[in-house]
Amino acid sequence: MKIIRLILLILHVGIFFLLVGMLLNAYIPPKVFPWFNLLSLGFPLLMTGYILLTFFWIISWKKRAFLFLFLGLLFFNPILRWVNYSGHKSEEGNFKIISLNAKNGNLGVKNIETFINAQKADVVLLQEYGGYKEYHFDGLKRVADTAVVAVFSKFKIVGQKKLIKSNIEHSNIYTTQTDIEVRGKIYRIINIHLQSFKFEKSMVKLNGNNEKDEEKVKNIVKRLIPTFKIHQEQISVIKKAVENSPYPIILAGDFNSVPNSYEYYHLLGGLQDAFVKAGNGSATSFHDYKFPIRIDYIFTSKSIKPITYKVDRSVRISDHYPVIATFKLSK
């Protein structure tokens, strides 16, 4: 039994240091050391292991349980970025936004239209909406868009421009900024679709064949590392736009990055995560793989108050669930 406990202790300490490595994404960019960003992908499994081992020490009446409980406080905020309970707010929002990666409309443009029209949103942000497919949302005007992202608004558009137009190497990934006037005040909306990893389900599904599975893992890493570095370049452009904005910011879309990643920390800088402020339950938004993945977000300036945040799992109109949030804008 002592040997088993020693092995579990070594495992627990190892998991702790891996989780600490993940926190270093706030400081170390992928071009310097990309491996920390890989750890963010495994956060749900690492954290689950850490918690289970902590409970093991508690029921074993070991003093080390208190140490691991205390050290576990380092990961309280990282947990809230995946699973949160903010309670119910008595206030009502006066601005509603929906963000959805539409998977090129492959599951039906009409299905997307029906769902969004029922929500009566003020602004709709689509990513991978399907080239120049036509979407018609009640009461919403379509802004001049790109081949990847589109913005629909019920409010007056006062400005719009492309922030990122990737070259051939980076593929057709766009990010746009759109200025809208809401009750006499201007807000800047940045609709994001960061570089995709271009995974297919068959590429990440392990089948028990050691040689083939090992080759798949190597291929996954070969795709992840270069994409992390491309994200770093794209984030630099977006952060500059956020920092130079004269207006309050709403930064939303498909980040192709999980919480506690380099991308998350550096896009969040100076903003707030609406899910952390107003969400309840899980923020998992990509459902095509049997693994909790949150890659869709809505960040805002702190002057914009989040009231509700919901990942709507009642519909499957894409491989992403729609993200719906309401906010209180000052009048």
Distance CA 36, CA 28 (A): 8
Tens of pLDDT, residue by residue over 54-113, are 999 999 888 899 999 999 999 999 999 999 998 877 888 899 999 999 999 999 999 999
- Our CA angle for 180, 186, 190, nearest 5°, is 55
Neighbours of 120 (CB within 10 A): 13
Report the pLDDT value the prediction gives residue 288, as an integer from 0 to 100. 79
148 has pLDDT over 70: yes
Report the pLDDT value the prediction gives residue 168, as an integer from 0 to 100. 40
Arithmetic mean of pLDDT, 117-140: 93
Q: Which residue bears the tokens 């008595």? A: 90
- Our CA angle for 76, 82, 87, nearest 5°, is 80
31 has pLDDT over 50: yes
- Nearest of 99, 82, 33 to residue 321 by alpha carbon: 99
DSSP 8-state symbol, 194: P
CB environment 288-301: b (16+ within 10 A), e (fewer): eeeebbbbbbbbbb
Tokens linked to 307: 């009231």
pLDDT band at 166 (very low <50, low <70, confident <90, very high): low
Residues with Cβ < 8 Å from 49, sequence gap 6 or more? 11, 15
HSE-up (13 A, CA, CB side) for residue 236: 9
Topology at the third CATH level for domain 89-328: Deoxyribonuclease I; Chain A (3.60.10)
Residues of the chain above pLDDT 90, percent: 74
Tens of pLDDT, residue by residue over 255-274, are 999 999 999 999 999 999 99
- Nearest of 273, 253, 266 to residue 194 by alpha carbon: 253
For 24, counting Cβ atoms within 10 Å of its Cβ (0-12 exposed, 13-18 middle, 19+ buried), the class is: middle
Tokens linked to 149: 């992202």
Report the pLDDT value the prediction gives residue 223, as an integer from 0 to 100. 79
Report the pLDDT value the prediction gives residue 173, as an integer from 0 to 100. 66
pLDDT band at 172 (very low <50, low <70, confident <90, very high): low
Q: Are the C-beta atoms of residues 259 and 82 closer than 8 Å to each other?
A: yes
For 163, counting Cβ atoms within 10 Å of its Cβ (0-12 exposed, 13-18 middle, 19+ buried), the class is: middle
